[in-house]
Amino acid sequence: MIYITAQNKKVPALGYGTWKLKDKECSAGVEKAIEIGYRHIDTAQIYENEAEVGAGIAASGVKRSEIFLTTKIWITELADGKLQKSLDVSLKKLKTDHVDLLLIHWPITDVPFAEQMKALQSVQKDGKAILIGVSNYTVTQMKEVVEKIGAKAVCNQVEYHPYLSQKVLLDYMRPHGMFLTAYCPLARGNVANDAVLAKIAKKHNKTVGQVTLRWLVQQDGVAAIPKAGSEKHMRENFEIFNFTLDAAEMKEISNLARPDGRLVSPDFAPKWDKAA
């Protein structure tokens, strides 16, 4: 495993994503992922599976202290007072007294960022969130949170895969001690038929998916949270620590980025940073 150090906390660079996993598929998936070796589990209030994630962690038999657990506050729960109550509900579902990382899911401005961060910092002070951060924020929005408001945001979880450059974000985040968590790391399966990735995968006797995930976690301060419904894919995604991509291969994969590479952009999304 590769680890990212964030505010003296070790974060496994590869996590298990649970978006779209429901009911027993989710709880069994989390339990199996932990059995395979995953120690970073990602969920969110809007996924409506926090109870199943909590059940899977409990059933695994692995100590809660060994799991890095992330959840995200949904856009309707951002007001000071409301956020704290919604987290208490999430913690009850997750069967834990804290999460290791708590994120604001989207940068919604109906509630001022200062109020959102005040609420986020209050649950951190209470020990209910060890680390705090954001998701889907632009550089301008991160500057407001980190520099103007002074919140110790440690992470920005965003879409990141070979077809979408996040150089602009990373160039801002790294000097500020923040790490990036990549969702949709396999571009919703679009990497599967890529000739460049296939060539590199063949050289290493790996799959295209494994090469893609390795490209992500091999970057400084980047974590990835692929979702996998089957044990086969869970194991495949986890088997990326016994090979290394060279500088030329890393650059070749980075060069696959294109202007239309973004897959996730709901109508309430921010005005995204322009790719470098």
For residue 58, how far is the Cα from the chain centroid? 21
Residue 6, token pair as written in the block: 């964030």
**What tokens were used for 192?**
């599967």
Q: What is the arrangement of strands in the sheet containing 16-17, beginning at the earlier edge strand?
A: 16-17, 40-42, 68-73, 99-104, 129-135, 153-159, 179-183, 222-224
The pair of structure tokens assigned to 127 is 């020990």
Whether 183 is catalytic is no
H helix or E strand, kind and range, residue 71: strand 68-73
**DSSP string for 147-208:** III---EEEEEEE-BTTB--HHHHHHHGGGT-EEEEESTTGGGGGGG-HHHHHHHHHHT--H
| Token pair belonging to 74 | 């949904």
3-state SS string over 205-241?
CCCHHHHHHHHHHCCCCEEECCECCCHHHHHHHHCCC
Of residues 47, 160, 172, 183, which has the active-site annotation? 47
Catalytic residues, by residue number, are 47
